[in-house]
Amino acid sequence: MVLSNTERKIIENSIRDIKDFPKPGIVFKDITTLLNNKEAYGVLMSHLYTRYKEYNLDYIAGIDARGFIFGAALAQMLNIGFVPIRKKGKLPYTTISEKYSLEYGIDEIEVHIDAFSEIPNAKVLMIDDLIATGGTANAAANLINQAGANCVESCFIIGLTFLDGIEKLKEKTDVYTLIEVE
């Protein structure tokens, strides 16, 4: 199940480009204008629901912070659990962590060690707003697998195809992007 051209246009037109944010040379894809547009947000969420209701997922894992917005909403629609993958130092219980490099910096993400433990070999969908170099998503996929679950697909609203993040991540998990930016 992929997006129709009409659905893609509605979502694409709702995303705003901010040049030179957070530093010169970066075109920041601003999804706040998707979220406050009820038509675009609705089209997006019902598409994700239609696609993923067939997957028999056990959890959605959302990446800090914009992955929480789509991931938590989708988990509720699918009637499954949501797991936050957070920036270092935010999760209160025992964590496992991974360092990674970002399009603009270096960071570290963590997940609770027991986040998926209720369901053995749980089927997990990872979600974030955007994949650039793939560093964040690659680290998140490692964390999901280290926590004893199975990352069956990663979903991104936007994929930057001029970087090789998507191709690298495909060695680890299936990748689904709704909007590709060349």
Residues that bind ligand AMP (CB under 6 A): 26-29, 63, 66, 102-103, 128-137, 165
Min CB(144)–ligand AMP separation in Å: 15
- Amino acid occupying residue 56: N
Nearer residue to ligand AMP within complex by CB, 125 or 131: 131
Q: How far is the CB of 102 from ligand AMP (least distance, A)?
A: 5
Residue closer to ligand AMP (CB basis): 81 or 134: 134
Instruction: Kindly tell me the sign of the dihedral angle through the C-alpha atoms of 10, 14, 17, 22.
Output: negative
Whose Cβ is closer to ligand AMP: residue 142's or residue 148's? 142
Minimum CB separation of residue 69 from ligand AMP in Å reads 11
Nearest-angstrom CA–CA distance, 22 and 104: 8
CB of 57 to ligand AMP, least distance (A): 21
**Contact (CB, 8 A) for 87 and 97:** no
d(CA 35, CA 163): 26
* Residue (25 or 92) nearer to ligand AMP, CB: 25
Q: How many CA atoms lie within 13 A of 97 on its CB side?
A: 14
Tell me if 144 sits within 8 A of 163, measured CB to CB.
Answer: no
For residue 65, whether the previous peptide bond is cis, meaning omega lies within 30 degrees of 0, is yes
